[in-house]
Structure formats: C-alpha cells, structure tokens
Amino acid sequence: MTTMSRAEITTPEVLSGESVVELSLRPQRLAEFIGQTKVKESLRVWIDAALARREPMDHALFFGPPGLGKTTLAELIARELGVNIRTTSGPALEKPGDLVGTLTNMREGDILFIDEIHRLRPIIEEFLYPAMEDYRIDIRLSEGPKAQTITMPIEPFTLIGATTRFGMLTAPMRARFGIVERLVYYPNEDLEHIVLRSAEVMKVEVDPGGAQEIARRSRGTPRVTNRLLRRVRDYAQVKADGRITADVANAALTMLDVDEFGLDDNDARILKTIIEKFDGGPVGVSTLAAATGEDATTIEEVYEPFLVQNGFLQRTPRGRVATPHAYRHFGYVVPTRDQASLF
C-alpha cells in the first residue's frame, strides 16, 4: 500500500508523486468532464465561437478552492481548440525574462496557463498587460535609467489564469480577463460518477454503495475522490478480493480516519482546538494557527472553505466560531449561551 500520512489523505492540494496518476485519470474531452455544468456550458459557447471566427479565445480566469479542475479545464480547452498549451505558475515567474521565450515561441491561438496567478509579482503583471491587450512585449536590453527598450510583436494568444484567492488579484489584472468562471464544490452525485469513471480507468470493481461511500467522504473535491479511491483500492486488494463495496470502503476510510463527512485529523484538531481551548470561539486565525501548529494560510485556503460550507465553522468579524453542528459531531454538549453575541 502506498505510504501516505493520514493528515495528507484529504488535502485538496497535489501531493508529491501524484501528478502522473492524476494525468491518467483526467478526461480527454470537455464532454467527459463531470460536474461544473454551468462553467462547462459557458466554455462550450466560448470555444465554439472562437473556432467559428478562427480567432484565439478570450483570456479566461478560473477561481475556486483547490482540486476542483481548473488545470484540467485549461488543458481541455486547448484540446478542444486544437492548440498547444504552456503551463507555469505565479511563484515560478521571478522576472519578465522568464516569460519572453515562452511568449515569443507561441503560435497563434496557443494558450499560456498560469496557476496561482494571484502570486504574480507586480513586475510580471506589468509585463503581461501589453501582451494580453496588444499582443506585444517590451524587452529591456539593459538596466539603469538609460536602458533601451525594444517592442516585439507576439502572436495572438489566450492567457488562462487559475487562483484559489480571487480577492488577491489586482483590479487591473482582473479587468483584463473577458471570461471569469467560479468553480464550486461538487455534489455527491457528481463525485459518485467520478468514482465510477476513475474505477473503470483503473480497472477496479466498485459497486454503487462503494462509490457512494467514497463520494460522500471526498470533501466535494474530485482530487480527494480519486485519492481516496486509490487507497480504498489498495485496501480492497489486500482485504476483500479487490472488490469495493460499501462495507469495504467504510472499513478502509475508517482506518484512514476519514469520517462520514470527509473530516480528517487536521479538521478535527482545528475544530476541537476552538471548542476546548477557546470555548468555541471567536478566535483569530493567527491565534488558531499558533494553537494547532498549522500555517494560517493553509487554514484559510485548505480547511476553512470546506468547514464553513458544511456548517462546522463560521467566520465572524471577531474570529472563527465552532457551530452547534461541530459540537454535536464530536460529542460535545452544545453551549446554552447566546450564540448571537459572538457575531
């Protein structure tokens, strides 16, 4: 069985060594992409319009929690348009020169995909503005006040950006995207379809009960769904002749400490800390991070969105508050004090 800590099993982030496995499970056409129906319908229109006009598609921005398919959609758009895609990320771009070679070698209609685009340095953003609007780049030949700059035309291209923190994008950058789409957590029905499709690719037998059990513990995130499926497959291979039923899935996920809501050790530690050490809150995220030994940004980006959307946690002007649902889930007595006073 592949070694993985229990704290990692439900993270929506890509883990080391997962990229190759993820690629094998990704859909090959937009029609095969499960979920995000409204986004998919809109993209179909933009893609068909671009093909009909024989022009590059407008610049597009995808935002939402990690693991929902932003990178996959960018690759599917490139495949549907029949163009090449170059992939990079905001933290990887340190100076304009890092993009010059990529932009000058792109052919008309090609796609530049920038993940974590909210982390672009200001100098990179300024370099991209004329590229996005006028299809030209300004190249400095030297440094200093008398430095010469030459303007070089580039082929019309499409920039696709992805971010988990839409609010951190600068207003000028946001304004340059003609297409802005929000990806949301998946309902269990869509995740069940993903389990069954991935199981078919992986050549593992899963009955409807097993698919349902994996889906409802997947935190609304396809990346987590596929990771849980791989771990349950390992368990089934050793303990249950390779067939995943509801009982087998339940036993495997219980062993991994993933409960019926998809909460793992980290979620439990965050909620129990708020309840036990801070009387249910409110508590600031920095204080919570120090008390749990977790990074504040990780709490905000990875754990909080799921906990808030599923009613375990509330964000208030005074800090984070554990809900009555969280108290009941972990077997605590719900306090009788007026919760409204916390807001």
**Residue-wise pLDDT tens digits, 183-231:** 988 998 999 999 998 888 888 888 988 899 999 888 888 988 888 998 8
Rounded CA Rg of the chain: 23
Give the count of beta carbons closer than 10 Å to the beta carbon of residue 204. Answer: 20
pLDDT of residue 1: 41
Contact criterion met (CB below 8 Å) for 222 and 239:
no
The strand pairing partners of 124, in sequence order, are none
Check residue 334 and give its pLDDT. 82
- What residues of the chain score a pLDDT lower than 50? 1-7, 20, 339-343
How far apart CA 30 and CA 119 sit, in angstroms, is 28
| CA separation for the pair 180, 197 (Å, rounded) | 28
SS3 104: helix
User: Please, how many CA atoms are within 13 Å of residue 327, restricted to the half-sphere of its CB?
Assistant: 16
Which residue carries 């990229």 as its tokens?
A: 19
Determine the pLDDT at residue 251: 87
- C-alpha–C-alpha distance, residues 136 and 249, integer Å: 54
Both tokens of 272, joined, read: 């129990």
Place of tokens 């869509």: 190
What CA–CA distance (Å, rounded) separates 251 from 234? 12
Q: Which residues are catalytic?
A: 70-71, 115, 164, 223
**Which letter does DSSP use for residue 100 in this model?**
H
